[in-house]
Structure 1
Amino acid sequence: MAALRAGLLGIGMMGRHHARLLRDIDGMELVAVADPGGDPHRVATGLALVDDVHALIKQRIDVAVVAVPTRFHAEAAMALAEAGVHTLVEKPIADDSISGRQVSETFREKGLVGAVGHVERFNPALQQLRQRLEAGEAGAVYQIATRRQSTFPGRIGDVGVAKDLGTHDVDLTAWVSRSTYQSVSAQTAFKSGRSFEDMIAITGRLANGTVTNHLINWLSPMKERTTVVTGERGTFIADTATADLTFHANGTAALEWESVSTFRGVSEGDVTRFAFPKKEPLRSELEAFRDAVQGKPSELSTMDEAVHTLQVVEASLRSAADGGALVVIEAVGA
């Protein structure tokens, strides 16, 4: 089978990573790069370098990766869909869920593969976590809590922390739990002098009853990427920055300390840190995109799923603007 001719739109920080991997993945050949700012980092050496998505389409590409700022996602994706190009759009799918839904519907109507780069699905720790949850190792899941905190990224100027980082946590939570969101309540803070929020705390409930909590900010001097899943048999902790997964089992040994043994709750049991292969998530995502175009199953975020993720984030921002009021999420497909 001939390699898929790939085009890349945008060679900022994420685009440069996509370019590195697209040059190396079997079954895809990066043939052209588009960026109105040129190629100051020499990403496109040896490739066609053009100005925009329309010029990129003229390079006879089969597939494309869109890695431009969020406000340009929908316009670029629609142009690629009209040209019959299978497309992976970096998250979020669009600047708002209405535009995102239009993009999703267009790709579906044209029979094209449309995916969104929620790359945490391909983090080895979260893939292991999902497999172990499905195997019942935690029993019934009660709560999923995430923390995603770091310094402010100078490259982000068109969205706040909720759409940039919060979409990761919303998507991975829905994916790990195999459930959509039912409702959310949130609070935000604006501490950096920008018009967009730089901190958000979201509490929610999934359609399957699981309680969720997400703490996300650009105000921390350290970087934290943690997912904690608490179930009836114990707690999984996934560190997606290092791709480590640990399980803290509920204790089974009898407690002899009288004041502790009267507490009607769980006790500490064995702690297990799992060993497993750790492949670069972005490489796995791009390989999954290739496979999807070739008609194979994958765990890629579909555009419909990405629209739901954006709806959850938008509902959280509406809640925060209304003093933390509970907001019910629109049903998927409604």
Structure 2
Amino acid sequence: MIRTGVIGVGYLGRLHAQKLASFDDTRFIGVHDSDADRGAAVAAEFGTESFADPGELLGRIDAVTIAVPTTSHYRVAMQAIRGGVHLLLEKPIAAKVREGRALVREAASRKLVFQIGHLERFNRAVRDAAALLKEPRFIECHRLGPFGGRGTDVDVVLDLMIHDLDLILSFVRSPVAGIQAVGVPVISSAIDIANVRLSFANGCIANVTASRVSAKKQRKIRIFQEDAYVSMDFVEQSIQIFRRSWPQGRGGPAEISGELLETEKGDSLREEIRSFLDCVRTKDSPQVTGGDGLAALELAFRILRKMRSR
């Protein structure tokens, strides 16, 4: 039976603990948090143990979820890797590209499962839409929300936009050839709202907006390809698809018809963690590898450099 634990049980880490405690085919050993009172409270809530020393917890488990602040990702993840523990590390992979590269290299050398928590990959709408996509030509993303105080140790590009960067890279299998970007701080000292236009070598264009200072939450992506337009709402987990057809034959006028596809709503976080544990058990490569997380981070930093050069 796989022994599991969580390091970092703030808002998101607590949810990971909740999911891990619910699995009956694994053994949830415990949690660690830099705030001892918070660690003890979460441990009591889910009937497990709170460890004062993360090294002691790592010495007793096979797989760990790490949900500490981004600036601590490298230190905590490297400790887990060097302890021989498989890890699900929340996004972004690290606060610096060189740290991300070092983590990927070290995990590979020890043959560990190293999954990055790009949660949208496990959204049912995304999974269903991926089967409809052939060769996207234009992508438009909006990931907006009110200021909540979490994640402000990094820019909004690393906090929110990186979700969409990962998705776009998974949809468009082509190098990024050009970047136009602008971003500004509004409430925090870091960039709080940003817009990016990505040009790919195969001709695809992606327009991406991320904000953590908007009035209401919005998580949408629209993808256009030669024969269809796919619209996904991540909050509603819904898909609309519009197709072009020629009812009177190719020589006649084209028509656009749309439909709302039925998508079963699921628990993306639970499915993400279940997928990770399955990979630990089978030694298969995870759906979102450390390499995937690194690619998204490298693109994010190219965007940030472009913003700061303006």
TM superposition score category, shorter chain reference? over 0.9
Residue number in structure 2 paired with 1:57: 58
- 1:86-97 correspondence to structure 2 within 5 Å: 86-97=86-97
Q: Give the counterpart of 1:15 among 13, 16, 19.
A: 13
Partner of 2:147: 152
| CA positional deviation for 1:267 | 6.1
**1:224-303 to 2 correspondences below 5 Å:** 224-252=218-246, 269-295=256-282, 297=284, 300-303=287-290
- Give the aligned partner of residue 320 of structure 1: 307
1:33 alignment partner, one of 31, 34, 40: 31
- Sort the Cα spacing of 1:17 and 1:179 in 2 relative to 1 into closer, same or farther, 3 A: farther
Structure 1 residues 292 and 232, CA, compared in 2 at 3 Å: closer, same or farther?
A: same
Q: How many residues align?
A: 303
TM (norm. structure 1) is 0.86
User: Can you give the 5+ residue segments of structure 2 that lack an aligned partner in the other structure?
Assistant: none
Asked if structure 2 preserves the Cα contact closer than 8 Å seen for 1:36 and 1:52, the reply is: no
Contact 2:31 2:50 survives alignment (8 Å): yes
What's the CA shift string for 1:91-123, capped at 9, x where partnerless? 001111110100110000111111110010000
- Any stretches of 5+ residues in structure 1 without a counterpart? 255-265, 324-334
Per-residue Cα deviation, 1:10-59 (whole angstroms, up to 9, x for no partner):
1111011101100112432211100021244832123120134213223x
Worse-superposed segment, 158-167 or 275-284: 275-284
Give 3-state SS (helix, strand or coil) of 1:191's partner. coil
Cα RMSD after superposing both structures: 1.8
CA separation in 1, counterparts of 2:247 and 2:53? 64
More helix by share: 2
Work out which of the residue numbers 285, 288, 298 in structure 2 matches 1:311: 298
Following superposition, the deviation at residue 176 of structure 1 comes to: 2.8
> 1:130·1:177 contact (CA, 8 Å) conserved in 2?
no
Aligned equivalents of 2:176, 2:282: Cα separation in 1: 29
Which residue is 2:104 aligned to?
104
- Tell me: CA distance 1:78–1:150, structure 2 relative to 1, closer, same or farther (3 Å): same
Match of 1:331 in 2: none
Post-superposition offset of 1:298: 5.9
Q: Which residue number corresponds to residue 184 of structure 2?
A: 189
TM-score scaled by length of structure 2: 0.92
Write the deviation string for residues 207-256 of structure 1: whole angstroms up to 9, x where unpaired.
443211101111210111001100111210000111100001225357xx
Tell whether the 8 Å contact from 1:27 to 1:290 is kept in structure 2 after alignment: no
